[in-house]
A = this chain, B = another copy of it.
């Protein structure tokens, strides 16, 4: 089925991409607070040797950060050659100065690399409402631009530089053939908290706002395939819909969520035919889903990952609403933390979701990833009389699948969710003595 192979590496696996990252102290401005390792990288560049076709998906949060606005603007020509991104500061809610700063990040990168400013994409992640320390950013860009390499080490440095509360870098790459040419597709991502992305190509919300579409997640994808701008947009939209837009850690959609895909065409494949379109989409879907799952598995303080599979919904909107009600319910999430197979809380959340739900129709079951056998807790709204011990075992693994069949229609969806732990609360209640030193 799948005609691609997972290979080592990420954004520098495809031909013609270079990367570098440095520490320029964006977050703590020399105080050293907040950085556990002292010199954690916080500014990165990803650069293509030639202008690449590019597509993006952006947060649909109405409060949208300056770097996102600059990306949407710069993507109008469907072309990008470089991405500059910092962690430690989101450059969100920073007003006109925030826009000036985001544009200056692009301009400084364009100047350092001799590129067109409109071909530079900008990303930021971190605290909201604080102006970027532009002197540090300028120095960081100049330093990083001189260190660009096509090595995997360089890619890892970038994957580390975009981390905020993430505990590990997230990377993947695949290889496949298009018209006889070997093509590669790689990606990196970050997440951890404020994670329930709902992205669209322009950041604009659908006329009817999707229910529950709510860390900053950043994803940067590169390929040396030759793909038209129109196909690239379509590929990315579908891939994001079944991956990054299907995850939740805490139900909070960020102001900065961004996924970018750059295709520089250096592999030299011919124009894509129908079979090629399928294989490219499958490869991209795989990359995006694996990165999305890495984000969920590294969610703040989490101890369990639950794949919520809703089937039998009257509509996709119903399936999505049902899955998000369950995956974001404080009571369901705390029961997952405790290893309690509490189906009462699950059906309660289904019942208050906007989805149409009929008690007498609802089936709830568990399985381990990859296994076919389902352990039912509820059949047609009634206890399946499975022993409590058996149900406890079903929800004990670090990862399990929750199957909810509403038995009302044919629509379905999948949501990758997490438990809610004391560690999440402890981490996010923060330490105001640390924050005070940063000026809020």
Contacts and interface: CB of A to CB of B under 8 A. Distances in A.
A314 interface: no
B129 A340 contact: no
A93 B347 contact: yes
A103 interface: no
B335 A430 contact: yes
What range describes how many residues of A lie at the interface?
35 or more
A106 interface: no
Nearest to A419: B429
Contacts of A62: 350-352, 356-359
Contacts of A431: 338
Nearest to A356: B62
B351 A255 contact: yes
A424 B330 contact: yes
Contacts of A128: 343-345, 347-348
Given A93-B359, A128-B347, A352-B213, A334 B428 contact: yes
For the complex formed by this chain, how many copies does it contain in all? 2
Interface string A324-348: 0000011100110111111111011
Contacts of A254: 348
Interface stretch (A31-39, A270-278, A432-440): A432-440
A92 B354 CA distance: 20
A420 interface: yes
A364 to B, nearest CB: 10
- With a 10 A CB-CB cut-off, give which of A62, A90, A128, A389 has the most chain B CB atoms: A62
B425 A420 contact: yes
Nearest to A214: B352
A335 B426 CA distance: 10
- With a 10 A CB-CB cut-off, give which of A129, A349, A383, A388 has the most chain B CB atoms: A129
Contact of A436 (B209, B214, B389): B389
A366 to B, nearest CB: 14
Interface of A: 60-64, 90, 92-93, 95, 127-129, 193-194, 198, 209, 213-214, 250-255, 329-331, 334-335, 337-345, 347-352, 354, 356-360, 378, 381-383, 388-389, 391-392, 420-422, 424-426, 428-432, 435-436, 439-440
